[in-house]
Chain A
């Protein structure tokens, strides 16, 4: 078992830059004809980020668009890698960056639960155990055996969220997905998040919804132009953030 105060995520001196091609020569023809014309701009998205997240913490990442929040989250899940520095994660990690990744429209909801959950690294047995819970949470009822392409967008999102939230991970990385479905389902999701928090899961949220951040997180990290502007208690950071940005 993990100790309570153990570090779940350690981010050490992380730098991330993206190459932005202003007019990239994509095809061979363009490469030959305009071989000089390959201007690129290097954009520094994250500069020397240091962050340690302990077990059981719920952290909100806030900041204006383009401040590097989502990039930091992607680095934590190992979808992209830093240019400098390192990131250590400890325990089973699930990222809810996009819902329904890997859904196949021609297969039924039930089959897609298996596809989607397996992307999160679950085994058949683990999925079997969670299947009823997932279907119940999604409130899809008998629609679960219909092909996903017949679903409304709300049903689609509900199913995807139900799978993601029921993956029993130690660390949950969430990118702006609390805006799923109708009011009723949103409240249900928030309640589920709180429940997971109470169970002692570690969570990192990227969010613009400051209200739910206050409600859910005990710590907030404010990113501004790729550096950490402030790190501390949720209310204090958010108050300061609101003061600065308005």
Chain B
């Protein structure tokens, strides 16, 4: 297909753009890329203190349970947040140079994936630290990551292009993500939610992705492959729809920005 050839021709730009996204973020800070490690660690410490206090939970190894949800969630919300800014941030180049605009959302998703891979070390450390050990099921980690990546790519294509036309969306997304945080089983388990609200979690694809990571590290079992494949299929559909929307909207980017 045409779009793949275009992206292949511009692969160097994609690469440098990802590099710039990762390196540029921490370029002038003392801890550098370590921040993608320290930041979630501090967040985990805060959550590990607060949530067991306010919630009665009998979840064993609660911290590991929560880390398995929190790190993938951060990955999810950062991508969506950054997607809503990426076109406006890069408005300067968009108005001056031609390049396949798809590179920008792809680069956001991919650079955050690298950050996620770094902070996944935290999941590993907490799993080991709580004496859970690792099982062969860790081999499914790339599959869950792939599902999340595809899903995020689809969302990112839509969010990044639509915000160019509706700037208000940027602010709305921040609030929406906060709401979504509580509609996703991150700090609690699915079964504590009353039956009449369960449907919210059912329609939230992040539920299945987080449960996937949780099965691997915290539950030490095989993740629910058929469900994950369904989420993957939804992600692929979202990518196609997202690309169509993106392609339609990108024709006027330079004029709108």
**Are B254 and A118 in touch, CB under 8 angstroms?**
no
Partner of B99 from A28, A114, A119 at Cβ < 8 Å:
A119
Partner of B98 from A95, A104, A107 at Cβ < 8 Å:
A95
On chain A, the residues within 8 Å of B24 by CB distance are 104, 106-107
Write the chain B residue with the least CB distance to A28. B168
A interface: dominant SS: loop
On chain B, the residues within 8 Å of A107 by CB distance are 20, 23-24, 27
**Are B13 and A119 in touch, CB under 8 angstroms?**
yes
**Are A101 and B255 in touch, CB under 8 angstroms?**
no
Answer yes or no: A232 CB below 8 A from chain B CBs: no
**Are B254 and A123 in touch, CB under 8 angstroms?**
no
Partner of B11 from A78, A101, A123 at Cβ < 8 Å:
A123
**Are A78 and B98 in touch, CB under 8 angstroms?**
yes
Answer yes or no: A85 CB below 8 A from chain B CBs: no
**Are B97 and A115 in touch, CB under 8 angstroms?**
no
Q: How far is the CA of A121 from the CA of B11 in the complex (A)?
A: 8
On chain B, the residues within 8 Å of A78 by CB distance are 98
Answer yes or no: B202 CB below 8 A from chain A CBs: no
B interface: dominant SS: helix
On chain B, the residues within 8 Å of A118 by CB distance are 10, 12-13, 15-17
Answer yes or no: B251 CB below 8 A from chain A CBs: yes
**Are A77 and B168 in touch, CB under 8 angstroms?**
no
On chain A, the residues within 8 Å of B251 by CB distance are 80-81
User: Chain A interface residue count: which class?
Assistant: 20 to 34
**Are B93 and A102 in touch, CB under 8 angstroms?**
yes
Answer yes or no: A127 CB below 8 A from chain B CBs: yes
On chain A, the residues within 8 Å of B16 by CB distance are 114-115, 118
Q: How far is the CA of A97 from the CA of B95 in the complex (A)?
A: 9
Residue among B16, B251, B255 with max Cβ neighbours from chain A (10 Å): B16
On chain B, the residues within 8 Å of A124 by CB distance are 12, 15
Considering the complex, which residues of chain B in the window 75-132 have a beta carbon less than 8 Å from any beta carbon of chain A?
92-99
Given contacts A77-B98, A95-B98, A102-B97, contact A122 B12 (CB under 8 A): yes
On chain B, the residues within 8 Å of A77 by CB distance are 97-98
Write the chain A residue with the least CB distance to B9. A121
A175 to chain B, nearest CB (A): 9
On chain A, the residues within 8 Å of B97 by CB distance are 77, 79, 95, 97-98, 101-102, 119-120
**Are B96 and A123 in touch, CB under 8 angstroms?**
no
Given contacts A74-B254, A104-B20, contact A119 B93 (CB under 8 A): yes
Answer yes or no: A18 CB below 8 A from chain B CBs: yes
Answer yes or no: A183 CB below 8 A from chain B CBs: no
Answer yes or no: B28 CB below 8 A from chain A CBs: yes
Write the chain A residue with the least CB distance to B13. A118
On chain A, the residues within 8 Å of B20 by CB distance are 104, 107, 115
* 11 CB-based A-B contacts, threshold 8 Å: A26-B167, A77-B98, A79-B95, A79-B254, A98-B96, A101-B96, A107-B24, A115-B16, A120-B97, A122-B12, A123-B11
Instruction: A114-B12, A119-B93 are known; give 15 further A-B pairs, CB within 8 A.
Output: A27-B168, A28-B168, A79-B95, A80-B251, A98-B96, A101-B93, A101-B97, A102-B97, A104-B24, A107-B20, A115-B17, A118-B12, A118-B17, A121-B12, A124-B15
